Amino acid sequence: MLIAGNWKMNKTASETVEFCSALRRRIGGIAEEVDVAVFPPFTSLAAAVRLLATTEIAVGAQNVHWATEGAFTGEISAPMLRELGVYAVIVGHSERRQLFGETDETVVRRAAAALEAGLFVIACVGELEEERDCGDTDAVLRRQVSALTEDDRLVVAYEPCWAIGTGRTATPDQAR
């Protein structure tokens, strides 16, 4: 089982120090029974890595670019994350798809670059409300998942776009 917390654009570096210190105390031996990961904003990654380095709690980044270097303002490469001590990345988050125009193709490229660099990847997949209402959920999910490379370090997270911020949730049957 994996428990992953995406902090989105929350917590400064000093707030991360406080949070990770408390997390270490509260999680204790749980992280030995289940996989636990936190995904702070980029500015808090170093603090989280430093504080959680001697624990079973993994630190991941919320995004990664497919290129190892270049003129990609605001992006970060997998080698940069690895050097920092980051263990995993999230790719394809619905907010990245909806707000920043990410596509299945760019998600696949990001995932491949992260895997090649030795990072674990959580690849988010999910349908829009219109796609669900039209009965296209299975086709959308198959398209998104089939584009990804099979790898033991890849976790697919079902994140129905229609449920984010709406108070609605997918049923266990829908998630299966």
Given the residues 65, 93, 102, 131, the one annotated as active site: 93
Task: Please say if 65 is a catalytic residue.
Answer: no
* Cα–Cα distance for residue pair 127/139, rounded to 1 Å: 9
Is residue 93 part of the annotated active site? The answer reads yes
Q: Name the maximum alpha-carbon separation found in the chain.
A: 48
Q: Tally Cβ neighbours within 10 Å of residue 61.
A: 23
Question: Of the listed 102, 127, 131, 159, which one is catalytic?
Answer: 159
Instruction: Tell me the catalytic residues.
Output: 93, 159
